[in-house]
Chains A and B, each alone.
Chain A
Amino acid sequence: MDHGEKRLMDKSQESLFVRLIPFFERYGILLLILIMIAVLHLLQPDVFLSWRNVTNIFKQVSWQSMLALGVFMVIVTAGIDLSVGSIIMLSLMGLAIASKAGMPWYVVMLVAPAIGFLCGMFNGIGITLLRMPHPFIMTLGTLYIFRGIGNLISGGVPITGFAEQIRVIGNGKIKLDAFFGEGAREYIPTSLILMIVIFFIFWVFLNHTRIGKWIYAIGGNPGAARAAGINVDRILIVVYTLCGFLAGIGGLILAGRTNSAYPNAGLQSELDAIAAVIIGGASFFGGRGTVLGVFAGVMIMGILRNGLNLMNVSVFWQQVLIGSIIILAVYIDVLRRQLATRT
């Protein structure tokens, strides 16, 4: 009898815990961000939440978030894109060369997204029409190819100095004199506005259009998508093309932010992008994840780096921490699933 009673109690305790799961599933990541902000604020009371530092974080993540958003869509289809870091560099170099050649700013501005678009389409065509066995291989190849081309066209040296209209995108400030009085130092970065607009557009695309629905369906069961008459190859080409296009926009933002194109631009940023997507709750096996989650994942990476920098934590420790968070985030997901299947 004693034993039976104990089991009963265990069950009621578990059911409370189980009832909290959906809450954590939905808001857990926001909770994590709030905790991080609170802790960093306590550790750095004057600096961390200052206007200057917060806008700095947003400016930092704005170009990285473009990569993460593109890679997210690819991961939803159960694919992977390793080449986005090289696409950002190649589009940046293309932009710089167009700028140096004296093209008008509105042409220069289009060069980066256009190059990204073409690179992404090349990936997509390789993965579908050339029947490459896995996107990993195709995009690993183009990781080298795109950066190599970027160095070939630029001679492997930095190119600096862009038109004011380009710099505004990555570095522009929207003054808030109206709210904070004449000559106030508070402002909103242009790149933050751009990031929010683009995330909103892709949120609508993935959640409120048929192609968006099909992207999730392909990640869930490509056979079911085919049986439903969906042209899976065509949708995959669209996804990889959009991923490249977003990396190109990232290149444009980075051009404005740094006012220069350099051979190491975006080096290893594809891994940061994948990390942000995974931390944001997307499944590496496809079909799962949200745009808001990606935004949260990007912010967690950005806040963490920024906070650790403020506290003078060495870059090496930062690497250890970020790696640990990736593993922890996925492990929490594994635990959650085990609990969900047990009930």
Chain B
Amino acid sequence: MSDNLVLEAKSVSKFFGTITALQNVDLHLSKGEVLGVVGDNGAGKSTLMKVLSGLYKPSEGSLFFDKEKVSLNSPRDSQNLGLEMVYQDLALAGNLPIGDNIFLGREPTRKVGPFNFLDHKKRKQLTEEHLAKLKINVKSADQKVEELSGGQRQAVAIARATAFNAKIVLMDEPTAALAVKEVGKVLDLILNLKKLGVSVIVISHRMDDIFTVCDRVMALFQGTNFAESELKNTSRDEVIGWIMGKKD
């Protein structure tokens, strides 16, 4: 295990009444690492992500950010620690331009007398810089999100997550809703984040995604750690077997 850990979960359990969603799950993530999390429906992937982002409080176990033990009460807390979540349903407002979506709720403003007005110029400039940094190509930062393709929307959602120097990005099925030709662009974007030193956790059903972008893959089965491997030491067939609960 490397010593530049940015995120660690130690024997995390989550119970909903009598249902056990997670049982003693461990997870670790290093700087600039892309970790794939796989598992069948109901294996606990989404619950684990919600625990990491602070949406759920773990019933047992603890979380460490930069090796410091933390207690998260809301997604705000994890955001403040540099963790951002890209939601499956994207959480974008289609009627607003790209820049407005990226900065929604955190708009740059300037003071005029006692009033705070939106700084349209600065938002546009920051948006263009950020999109360029992530190599996201769109016609204009002022384009409305509803005019974008599914892949471009996913890119905007990722841009939104990383606009405030996120160190860790969680992505729930980032390519699930995309046309085949757009999947590659989103995967390139994930590799770009890695180059920029951002750590990424990707939940995906698609082996192509996992084997294109991930450094390491871990499988959950019925709420527990089932298997884990560096990507170079495993194969698609083996990982598919893990998802179904089979190990040689």
* A230 close to B118 (CB less than 8 A): no
Closest CB in chain A relative to B123 CB, distance in Å: 10
Query: CA–CA, A212 to B104, complex, Å?
Result: 12
Q: Which of B62-70, B85-93, B125-133, B227-235 forms contacts with chain A? A: B85-93
Query: CA–CA, A217 to B103, complex, Å?
Result: 11
Contact with B along A212-229 (1 / 0, CB 8 A): 111011011101110111
* A224 close to B117 (CB less than 8 A): no
Among A209, A228, A229, the residue within 8 A (CB) of B118 is A209
Closest CB in chain A relative to B33 CB, distance in Å: 26
Closest CB in chain B relative to A281 CB, distance in Å: 13
Closest CB in chain B relative to A236 CB, distance in Å: 15
Contact with A along B94-107 (1 / 0, CB 8 A): 11100011001111
Which residues in B have their C-beta under 8 angstroms from that of A286? 95
Which residues in A have their C-beta under 8 angstroms from that of B76? 229
Closest CB in chain B relative to A227 CB, distance in Å: 4
- A41 at interface, CB cutoff 8 A: no
User: Chain B interface secondary structure, helix, strand, loop or mixed?
Assistant: loop
- B149 at interface, CB cutoff 8 A: no
Given that A208-B117, A208-B118, A210-B116 are contacting pairs, would A224 and B107 also be in contact in the complex, using a CB cutoff of 8 Å?
no
Which residues in A have their C-beta under 8 angstroms from that of B92? 221, 224
* A230 close to B105 (CB less than 8 A): yes
Query: CA–CA, A204 to B115, complex, Å?
Result: 11
Query: CA–CA, A229 to B75, complex, Å?
Result: 9
Query: CA–CA, A8 to B90, complex, Å?
Result: 38
- B109 at interface, CB cutoff 8 A: yes
Interface size on B, residues (CB 8 A): 22
* B100 close to A213 (CB less than 8 A): yes
- A288 at interface, CB cutoff 8 A: yes
Whose C-beta in chain B lies nearest to the C-beta of A217?
B93
Query: CA–CA, A128 to B35, complex, Å?
Result: 41
Among B90, B95, B104, B109, the residue within 8 A (CB) of A230 is B104
Given that A213-B107, A217-B100, A228-B105 are contacting pairs, would A287 and B93 also be in contact in the complex, using a CB cutoff of 8 Å?
yes
* A227 close to B118 (CB less than 8 A): no
A224-B92, A288-B95 given. 15 additional CB < 8 A pairs? A208-B117, A208-B118, A209-B115, A212-B118, A213-B104, A213-B118, A214-B104, A217-B100, A219-B95, A221-B93, A224-B104, A225-B104, A227-B87, A228-B105, A230-B105
A residues at B contact (CB < 8 Å): 204, 207-210, 212-214, 216-217, 219-221, 223-225, 227-230, 286-288
